[in-house]
Structure 1
């Protein structure tokens, strides 16, 4: 059975691959790395890229932390144990071009030793990838979901449909009655079954991680040279505000990081560099903005 140390090592490798690829994609900006240690155990490598040709702000973070779970997290997870280990890679990219989408990905592993020597440790994998276009370009969304389905289909016949619905439900801004973007896939607390070993789940996690760079490279290159207006950029800033609302109000990773005394700069790197809240904005009938809002809903079949 694969060890937590090996999982962390391979996640670090995926972080390295993605950072190198994104620097090549941008062609100007490079990542700045900060290594940090967590009070209580573990640490990570936070990497941020800013002010590039296309990448206005992005983070590709790795962490491997351990120690004692706060009671709030222990109760939320409905577990008795306090000792934990968690490792993962988390990515958020905010482009400077309104026609290039925001993208998020997370792959992670969580483990707690058993308090009963006759029982195995509590362990699971989680993760996901989702797309938040400022303007929904339907061909791009179909391409994105098609890639995710092809990855899922290699590991479980029901993975895409299950995890796509999970993403629709998770990435939902309840107080706005709209999805954060056009979804993707999301899964949590996935464990070994009769049909799926721990190694299988880990391979799926890595395959998802390695799908990030080719899929985002394609989406960036499809749109990076399109012309746009000041009005397009104003809309981009407004859509960024919705992204910020979700991450601060609903995102489980943000809550976990804050509750476990994580590094604040790494936790909040998902927030956009600039966003705007326009009072009672109403899009013009028949506009690109109205079309985008009409597609920010659950249950759309993109493949």
Structure 2
């Protein structure tokens, strides 16, 4: 049984983000007739400090990987913790077809014991094969829903999703607002509306794509495998949220790594060892070493568990 945060704001965030979670899952199930999402619950400290529930689709003809998670963690009974509570929706969808873009959405509410409270908003479109029309539609949606904060969100997103070692970005449209509090005119449901608008835009993009997709070519499948490898690399070497989640606790490793694509190119990943920052080279080498020696590798739950261990070992050596 999970013990939830008691503040009105945290309860509002959990209720509303849970509604968004069910809304997105319902839309995805309707879009991919025959695909069902199973519910998986995880607990922080046996539930005494909260936990979460995610809905995930197994690999099938529609989704390479799909996970929609809502969690709430709180430390109201721990005076030694500066952190009071965090409530988050975090989702990544990787379609099977290389011409259908992936999406990452993260919306979270954080409360600290010093009184600070803020939202974090993230949305990024991740096509393996770029479609300019999709990019325009997605950015137009972001501009409409974020209003005066659009420029700041794009600027922060472009910085966050840049990969210096490869001189590339992960994705084509990046939006990120850290420590967002809005102003007197900001509606209470601004962040909830943001998540819903992103979901509606993404579903519309997929519906349009699925209505006219031909079987993928070998070239398109290779582009997807290589792009998913870049996604894998960025998440495990640069994504602060993923790294922090793994270092803070080991009670939800598979869920924390739910954003990883199902298949990656081991040879391509190995070629990036020498390009990586010197401090990160041992980590990238360790990731390559734990993968089977074949070009296309299936990222199984067992491999995810080993990845989590490798990341903890790497950062332990840096202390």
What is the TM-score with the length of structure 1 in the denominator? 0.79
Partner of 1:44: 52
The CA deviation string for residues 149-170 of structure 1, in whole angstroms up to 9 with x for no partner, is: 11112xxx2x111101111111
Q: Which runs of 5+ in 2 are unaligned?
A: 1-6, 273-319
Question: Gaps (5+ residues) in structure 1?
Answer: 71-79, 115-120, 282-303
Residue 244 of structure 1 aligns with which residue?
Answer: 232
Q: Runs (4+) of structure 1 moved beyond 3 Å?
A: 277-281
What corresponds to 2:133 in structure 1?
A: 139
Matched, 1:99 2:99: yes
Residue 273 of structure 1 pairs with residue 253 of structure 2: no
1:196 CA displacement: 4.7
Match of 2:74 among 54, 66, 70: 66
- Corresponding residue for 1:299? none
1:226 aligns with 2:213: yes
- Give the match for residue 150 of structure 1: 144
2:88 touches 2:108 (CA, 8 Å); kept in 1? yes
Q: Tell me which residue corresponds to 1:216.
A: 202
* In 2: Cα distance, 1:21 partner to 1:222 partner: 14
Following the alignment from structure 2 to structure 1, what is the Cα–Cα distance between the partners of residues 182 and 259? Answer: 31
Which of the numbers 17, 26, 45 marks the counterpart of 1:20? Answer: 26
The count of residues paired between Structure 1 and Structure 2 equals: 258
Task: Give distance in 2, aligned partners of 1:196 and 1:110.
Answer: 21
1:15 deviates by 0.6
User: In 1, distance between residues paired with 2:197 and 2:206?
Assistant: 14
Q: Equivalents in 1 of 2:264, 2:39: separation in Å?
A: 25
Deviation, structure 1 residue 81: 5.3
Deviation of 1:122 (Å): 1.6
Maintained 8 Å contact 1:238/1:278: no
Instruction: Give me the whole-angstrom Cα distance separating, in 2, the residues matched to 1:83 and 1:12.
Output: 22
1:32 match: 38
Higher relative contact order (CA 8 A, sep 6+): 1
CA shift at 1:36, angstroms? 1.7
Q: How many angstroms apart in 1 are the aligned matches of 2:238 and 2:83? A: 25
Secondary structure at 1:176 match in 2:
coil
CA distance in 2 between counterparts of 1:231 and 1:135 reads 10
Correspondence for 1:285: none
Give the whole-Å Cα distance in 2 for the aligned partners of 1:47 and 1:150: 29
- C-alpha root-mean-square deviation of aligned residues, in Å? 2.2
TM-score by length of 2: 0.76
CA–CA distance in structure 2, aligned partners of residues 190 and 259 of structure 1: 25
Query: Once structures 1 and 2 are overlaid, which stretch shifts more, 37-46 or 256-265?
Result: 256-265
CA separation of 1:251 and 1:196: change in aligned 2, threshold 3 A: farther
3-state SS of paired residue (2:264): coil
